[in-house]
Amino acid sequence: MGDGDDVDLLDPFRQFLSLERDVLVLSLAMFAFSLGFQMTNRYIPEYMAALGASAFVIGLFGTVGNIIGAVYPYPGGRLSDRIGSRLALTLFGLISTVGFAVWLVAPALGTVVVAGVTLEPWIWIFVGLFLAQAWKSFGLGATFAIVKQSVPPHRLARGFASTEVFRRTAFLIGPLIAAGVLYVVADFTVGFQYILAIGLAAGLVATVAQHVLYDASGDSLGKTFEGVRGIADDLRNLPAELRPLLIADTLVRFANGMVYVFFVIVITQYLAVSLDIGPISLSPAVLFGVLLAIEMLVALVSMPPAARLAERVGLKPVVASGFFVYAAFPVLLISVPADTAATAPLVIALFAFSGLRFAGLPAHKALIVGPAERDTGGRVSGSYYLVRNAVVIPSAALGGLIYGGFSVPGTALTFAGSPPVAFTLASVIGLLGVGYFLLYGEEYDAYA
């Protein structure tokens, strides 16, 4: 990182190209798997709806994803201890690739009757989810620790900005690839299967490349993992400065989790918004991919200057701004009027606004790992995310119940379901988190 005050958006890529080979290989693998996830994961709810899933089932998909995100990292670390990082990475990559394959063939597997129980085609989406998340959940704490040890304390936000900008470039490219495929292939289910095939190929290439090129002979990751008994100690030893941040972050993420899986449904079904640009007509599904790309383009452009801004004004204001965007977006999106000339421009503007939530992400990560003692960054960040992700687990299922409706067995109590209620309640919860952080959140000393 340079010492000047200028903001160089290409600097993260220059740093990437100067990495040692092993880290470079792992970064490329991360890019490939991120590309696969971003092409597919945001469209999975629409895919499930096409396979007959209800709003609650779609919400349950988000909740299962939350469970996996909370649970997988620790057993992944233990397995890495036993078989080594190189073999573990290869195994996780293969499992993830098989997950993409299960998603791909789900329509062909159809309805299955097992022991008198009818399993609908969407059940295979859950099977694929348990597999596809394997690689993604590996190494979160290691990434935090490496940045913590490599960057001066007052430059932590900028260090995380470099890693985030590179990784999230795949988040920009992936949706554009998906939008292009869906533009060419009119039938959504068939088009999405082509997208899944591309994601499968990317995962396979990344898995083979990292197995052949990665030399883990000098890798110490995993050798000091203390097992499950150490988790309670890690949680008890979280720095006190992190507790207000953790509470606020959990509220904001719970709110986002309530409606996140329904963003694509709102665009393709609730608003059914399309866009005509001259002779080019973008269907709602195609437009959603373009919206995700716009969101990520704003994120990529805004993260480096936001990280530099944090060095001037502190981490807390930048983090709070990102939290606010997270919280406000759901109610703004669901309030867009449908079937008007302003619908598409408003939706485009809102997704550009949503991209600003990522601007605060490097500062947020710096605020998490900053108070940690040296060489404990991975442990602190892992414990932080374990707590947050565990609490957020039921959010998507709750959002699905409110979005699609429910009835209480044995009673006449029913709720017809209301997307506006689900999205508005999400924003209320998120704004409570923002307010709590503004009142009680603490600044990291290096930025005070």
Place of tokens 């150490």: 230
Q: Quick check: is 343 in a domain?
A: yes
Domain count for the chain? 1
Place of tokens 């709590």: 436
φ/ψ of 388, rounded to 5, equals -60, -50
Q: Quick check: is 4 in a domain?
A: no
Measured between alpha carbons, how far is residue 352 from residues 1, 177, 349, 357 in Å? 28, 19, 5, 10
Choose among 164, 128, 138, 121: nearest CA to 41.
Answer: 128
What confidence score (pLDDT) does residue 258 get? Answer: 96
pLDDT digits (tens, 9 = 90+) for 309-365: 888 888 899 999 999 999 999 999 999 999 898 999 999 999 999 999 988 887 887
Place of tokens 């596809």: 132
Split at pLDDT 50, 70, 90, the class of 146 is very low
- b/e for 251-269, b at 16 or more Cβ within 10 A? bbbbbbbbbbbbbbbbbbe
HSE (side-chain half, CA atoms, 13 Å) at 263: 24
Whether the CB-CB separation of 22 and 215 falls below 8 Å is answered with yes
Whether the CB-CB separation of 162 and 303 falls below 8 Å is answered with no
- Structural domain that includes position 291: 11-215+228-447
Highest averaged pLDDT of the listed ranges 72-81, 155-164, 227-236 = 72-81
Q: Quick check: is 2 in a domain?
A: no
Q: Quick check: is 351 in a domain?
A: yes
Lookup: tokens for 283: 């269907």
pLDDT at 110 over 70: yes
Cα gap 321→359, rounded to integer Å: 9
Whether the CB-CB separation of 338 and 270 falls below 8 Å is answered with yes
Q: Quick check: is 3 in a domain?
A: no
pTM to 2 decimal places: 0.83
Cα gap 203→31, rounded to integer Å: 10
Q: Quick check: is 220 in a domain?
A: no
Q: Quick check: is 1 in a domain?
A: no
Q: Is 277 left (phi over 0), alpha (psi -120 to 50) or beta?
A: beta
Split at pLDDT 50, 70, 90, the class of 183 is very high
Greatest CA separation found in the chain?
69
pLDDT at 226 over 70: no
Whether the CB-CB separation of 111 and 56 falls below 8 Å is answered with no
Split at pLDDT 50, 70, 90, the class of 139 is very low
Give the CATH number for residue 73: 1.20.1250.20
What confidence score (pLDDT) does residue 242 get? Answer: 82
Split at pLDDT 50, 70, 90, the class of 221 is very low
State the chain's mean pLDDT as an integer: 81
Q: Quick check: is 259 in a domain?
A: yes
Place of tokens 């394959």: 101
Measured between alpha carbons, how far is residue 282 from residues 16, 173, 407 in Å? 35, 18, 37
